[in-house]
Chains A and B, each alone.
Chain A
């Protein structure tokens, strides 16, 4: 099946630092999404990217859809303690010729720890 390689696996940073994480794939996705998961909760959507080359911001978060459609990165600027959690990239791609199925393929996640 499709694989997303997400790195780094974990990061331990000081409050105020910027963070960058990325995902790569051997195949093309039509949409890239970034989710954050906190303990005991489900993934919460942070940013959705729909076009190759697209750069989108959501507050202190910025994400880009790679020009080859095989990669994406997420940056968090000026980190704060509540940024702690697991960040997942997910690729969305049609699986049939009709284009009606868009299952998500997830990366393994980046565990972010922010030291106050």
Chain B
């Protein structure tokens, strides 16, 4: 069964450094999402992306965050200058249409030191 894949599985970065998290959505899906889950808390929406542009973002997704679909398969989340509070699991998800179920990757654990 097709799945969303994310790399790396764990990223350790010094505070203030830039980090790029990578995702390969399911191949025929058109809508892409990033969510994060701080340890012990619920999954929170960050951003949705369709037709090469952001369609919705949460208040968490500030100027330090950006997303990109650099080619036909990858979908990336960049954090420009990481803060300690950015430490979390980051999940990528995709759906074929916006009103169809989103399928999640296994996440990238981001640890900021």
Residues of A within 8 A of B (CB): 30-31, 33, 35, 40-45, 48, 88, 90, 92, 94-96, 99-109
Cβ-neighbour of B98 out of A40, A43, A102, A107 (below 8 A): A102
- CB-CB < 8 A to B50: which residues of A? 100
B43 interfacial by beta-carbon distance below 8 Å: yes
* Most chain A CB inside 10 Å of its own CB: which residue of B43, B44, B58, B105: B43
Q: A43-B91, A101-B56 are in contact. Are A106 and B101 (CB under 8 A)?
A: no
Interchain residue pairs with CB less than 8 A apart (13): A31-B101, A35-B104, A43-B91, A45-B102, A45-B104, A96-B56, A100-B55, A100-B98, A101-B98, A103-B58, A104-B35, A104-B45, A104-B93
- Whether the pair A42, B98 counts as a contact (CB closer than 8 A) is no
The SS class assigned to the A binding surface is loop
Tell me the smallest distance from the CB of B95 to a CB of chain A, in Å.
8
User: Could you list which residues of chain B lie within 8 angstroms of chain A, going by C-beta atoms?
Assistant: 4, 6, 31, 33, 35, 41-45, 48, 50, 55-56, 58, 91, 93, 95, 98-99, 101-107
Q: Which residue of B lies closest to A101 (CB)?
A: B56
Q: Separation in Å of the B69 CB from the closest CB of chain A?
A: 17
A96 to chain B: which residues have CB within 8 Å? 56
Residues of the B chain whose Cβ atoms lie less than 8 Å from the Cβ of A106: 42-44
